[in-house]
């Protein structure tokens, strides 16, 4: 997976207005550290495509303990930090409190799956615009990736960690890119950066809210009809 990230770095470095593409090198996670995390947070188990398992030879944690890629642009002779691709270190994967699933009146937020018990772990809480979480519903070892925005609303992003990783790479870590998959959509500033650096990668924000994607198991991304995203079982 890191090979894909390095390809993104090379692509960004080739753009004339991009500066300071920085990929933080991180050590691999050991099987023992993963097992210890799961022991401490039982009954939660990290998804197979995220941790070291024989069934997932390209599992992310085999390659790197989290991810941090940052890049800037030169605008009006000023260097502006724009791109930010981040995944938390294993030690920083923190369970989300149950209150995050509730409205102000104490009811289950209607956009969430209807299973009796939900659990979530923060996958990326590094920005003020919201947090990306592994959301478990109906099984402690099966998780989708959801985004909780600044209004506390939840939005489905991907059916697995691999799907989310591919989307993150596709969006090049542009500001607030997860809002493509919310009802609010991108704000005007985020749209401007989107048109400048990723218009060739995906369609408009309206199209992306209407179409989700899923991993077909052979390295390809395919579209998922919008009506399925809320109805899918985790």
In angstroms, the CA 58 to CA 64 distance is: 11
Tally of CB atoms within 10 A around 169: 17
Q: What is the DSSP letter of 85?
A: E
Q: Taking a C-beta distance cutoff of 8 angstroms, is the pair 22, 33 a contact? A: no
Reported as a single tens digit per residue, the pLDDT across 56-71 is 434 788 889 999 999 9
Q: Compare 15 and 65 and report the one with higher pLDDT.
A: 65
Residue 200: per-residue pLDDT: 66
Residue 107: per-residue pLDDT: 94
Write down the architecture of domain 2-229 according to CATH.
3-Layer(aba) Sandwich (3.40)
50-59, 85-94, 99-108, range with the lowest pLDDT: 50-59
Q: pTM of the predicted model, to two decimals? A: 0.81
Picking from 60, 88, 54, the residue whose alpha carbon sits closest to that of residue 166 is 60
**Residue 12 three-state SS:** helix
The whole-chain average pLDDT of the chain stands at 81
Q: Is the pLDDT of residue 226 over 60?
A: no
Residue recorded with tokens 């979530």: 120
Q: For 122-126, what is the mean pLDDT? A: 94
Residue 2: per-residue pLDDT: 73
């Amino acid at each position: 997976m890191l090979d894909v990230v390095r390809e993104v770095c090379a692509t960004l470095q080739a753009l004339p207005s991009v500066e300071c593409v920085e990929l933080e090198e991180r050590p691999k996670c050991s099987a023992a550290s993963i097992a210890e995390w799961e022991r401490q947070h039982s009954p939660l188990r990290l998804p197979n495509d995220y941790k070291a398992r024989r069934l997932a030879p390209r599992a992310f944690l085999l390659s790197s303990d989290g991810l941090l890629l940052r890049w800037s642009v030169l605008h009006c002779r000023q260097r502006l930090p724009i791109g930010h691709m981040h995944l938390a270190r294993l030690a920083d994967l923190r369970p989300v409190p149950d209150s995050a699933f509730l409205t102000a009146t104490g009811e289950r937020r209607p956009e969430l799956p209807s299973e009796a018990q939900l659990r979530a772990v923060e996958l990326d809480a590094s920005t003020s615009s919201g947090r990306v979480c592994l959301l478990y519903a109906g099984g402690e070892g099966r998780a989708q990736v959801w985004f909780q925005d600044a209004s506390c609303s939840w939005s489905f992003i991907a059916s697995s960690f691999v799907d989310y990783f591919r989307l993150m790479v596709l969006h090049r870590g542009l500001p607030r890119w997860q809002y493509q998959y919310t009802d609010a959509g991108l704000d005007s500033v985020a749209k401007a950066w989107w048109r400048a650096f990723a218009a060739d990668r995906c369609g408009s924000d309206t199209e992306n809210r209407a179409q989700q994607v899923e991993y077909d198991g052979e390295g390809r991304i395919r579209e998922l009809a919008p009506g399925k995203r809320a109805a899918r079982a985790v």
